[in-house]
A = this chain, B = another copy of it.
Amino acid sequence: MAMKRVGSSAVRALTFSAFTRHLHASPGSKKIVGVFYKANEYASLNPNFLGCAENALGIRGWLESQGHQYIVTPDKDGPNCELDKHIPDLHVLISTPFHPAYVTAERIKKAKNLQLLLTAGIGSDHIDLKAAAEAGLTVAEVTGSNTVSVAEDELMRILILVRNYLPGYHQVISGEWDVAAIAHRAYDLEGKTVGTVGAGRIGRLLLQRLKPFNCNLLYHDRLQMDPKLESEIGATFEEDLDAMLPKCDIIVINTPLTEKTKGMFNKEKIAKLKKGVLIVNNARGAIMDTQAVADACSSGHIGGYSGDVWYPQPAPKDHPWRYMPNQAMTPHISGTTIDAQLRYAAGTKDMLDRYFKGEDFPAQNYIVKDGELASQYR
């Protein structure tokens, strides 16, 4: 079995490696499968609501007019799910981080015709990237399509936590009025220390938006920014993450989920943070140790936690983050605003077009190319 797998992907990798440089759909009809969240009654409410299963990125007419088959489903998990029926003969799989189709090594092994995995959005960790690379597949996302969307959302969450917004809203809907119950732990953002773990595309946009708030801005990344950009943004580089974290009143996670970052915020790491620290995580849920976060919210060591990412997704009804105190969570939503949908639908269509024509994708979109992972996933 293992022999067969290695053999099969080696052959495919070989064929593909000459091929990926000019990834080009062979002539004829291709089977393209899209996995998106279902919108039901909401699908028809907004003509720009392209990211749902019903509206399917708005590319059905375009694909079918070229003779391609386009299957779209939200049914991605469990035995006999719709996705699994198409795995054996699909050529392209389009998925999103909001309703992730988990592309495991096992699924990749079964997908004999698969060439291209497209993420409509940003963040391809729902794909076993190592297995995809070994199998010679191309993985690409619409880099930049929702960086602004996520950065704005992070700033909203920072403010919601710092200013203790939710207890006030709860009072309104429950008929109460108790300013003191909110005010005793409501603060201005001004003057606080905000640190971002990761200052890539999203982290930088966040820092730029934070600048007029007169905070003390810190960032940790593998590399220090260009001095000009750093001075424009007004943030200080912290080479040592463990030195930065205890200084922060507010920590924002802006790093991809990798083997290195998985479970990074565990009990020990959290214990070293400032008591009452606020954490915003729109990156990936699995970067946190789920129970450690819930425990620290209960003890008050974490003063507030907000984000839109969970593991797994959809979050089950009994996920502890739903019930922990001082949480300001939502489902995975920040990167799927209507504006972002328009951008990632256009970017996905553009890559499909290039795939049919044998043209390269925009360089920054590649996550796996020629058997190699993009640097941020290594």
Contacts and interface: CB of A to CB of B under 8 A. Distances in A.
A64 interface: no
A175 to B, nearest CB: 4
A153 B187 CA distance: 10
A157 to B, nearest CB: 9
Contacts of A213: 152, 209
Contacts of A328: 169
A332 interface: yes
Given A49-B183, A211-B212, A172 B98 contact: no
A38 to B, nearest CB: 7
Number of copies: 2
B184 A45 contact: yes
A267 B321 CA distance: 42
A333 B99 CA distance: 37
Given A42-B183, A179-B333, A186-B333, 14 more contacts: A46-B184, A98-B183, A149-B188, A152-B189, A155-B159, A156-B156, A168-B308, A172-B321, A177-B315, A179-B336, A185-B338, A186-B336, A188-B339, A188-B340
30 contacts: A37-B179, A39-B180, A42-B180, A46-B184, A51-B183, A52-B183, A98-B179, A99-B179, A152-B163, A152-B188, A152-B189, A156-B156, A156-B160, A168-B329, A168-B331, A168-B333, A169-B328, A171-B331, A172-B329, A173-B322, A177-B314, A177-B315, A182-B331, A183-B336, A183-B337, A183-B341, A186-B333, A186-B337, A187-B339, A211-B212
